[in-house]
Every structure is written in structure tokens, then in C-alpha cells.
Amino acid sequence: MMFSVPRDQIAPRVADLIALMDLGEAAGTIVADYSAGMTKKVALACALVHAPRLLVLDEPFESVDPVSAANIEDVLRSYTSSGGTIIISSHSMDLVQRMCDHVAVIAAGRVLAAGTVDEVRAGESLQDRFLSLVGGRHTSEGPQWLRQS
């Protein structure tokens, strides 16, 4: 048994996840030799192998190519539509706005806003709302020498 998965189900699940994550060509390669994006996909496959009801993902699309990102997004949507829950930590407000139904903006260990995406956005883009809550944005255009052609 592995994480309560009967031994006879492990190999078929691993094969399914290798195909799902497009890792077939690299299946015989040592994971240490994988790219950052491939390592991210392996980590997600490892998290999914025992079909948990809750996933906690930190920047799940970081370093992942656009095709793999779209495939992973489809997998995660299917997972949540079947009753799974995902908590995503991400700095990509576009991703959060597109994929999440509830959001919390956390800075320095404090929750600055929480609720549905629309509640937290409060009529702004999630990016703009995040910036207004967290602060720290530079208001200048940078040094003059940087704007010269």
C-alpha cells in the first residue's frame, strides 16, 4: 500500500498520471535531471496519485509551458468539479481570478481581504485590488536615463 492505495492500483495510476502530465518521453529519466516545469508536473502527479480530497499547491504553473499549463488547468478543474478542493498560493492574479471562486489577500501574515473573487476585487481587477491592499508600488516611471531611446 502507498497512501492507502492498494498495490495493484499503483502502477495503473502512475501510468495514467505520466500520460496526463505528458511525461511519457521522460519517464525513464532521473527526476533530478528534469526541468523546473517538468519537476512541477511530477510533484503534482505525486500529489494526485492517492486521489486526495484536498490539494495545497504553491505556484502550480510556475515554470510550466503554456500547453502543459492548460492541461494542468483542465486536470484541476476536473478535480474540483468532482468534489476536490484546491488551495492555491500564487502571485499571478490573472491565474487566481480565472481559476478560483474564493480568494484571500495575505501580506506579512495578515489577511487583508477575503471572500469571493468579486467581493475581494470590489469592482477593480484583482491585480489592482491586490496592489491597493498591499501597497508598495512605485509611482514614478523610473530614472530618466532608462526612458531615453
Domains delineated in the chain: 1-88 (3.40.50.300), 90-136 (no CATH)
Say what the pTM is. Answer: 0.79
Tens digit of each residue's pLDDT (9 = 90 or more) over 17-56: 989 888 888 878 888 888 888 888 899 999 999 889 999 9
Rounded to the nearest 10 degrees, what angle do helices 7-20 and 36-48 cross at? 140
CA-to-CA separations, 102 to 19, 25, 57, 120, in angstroms, rounded: 30, 37, 15, 9
pLDDT value for 27: 79
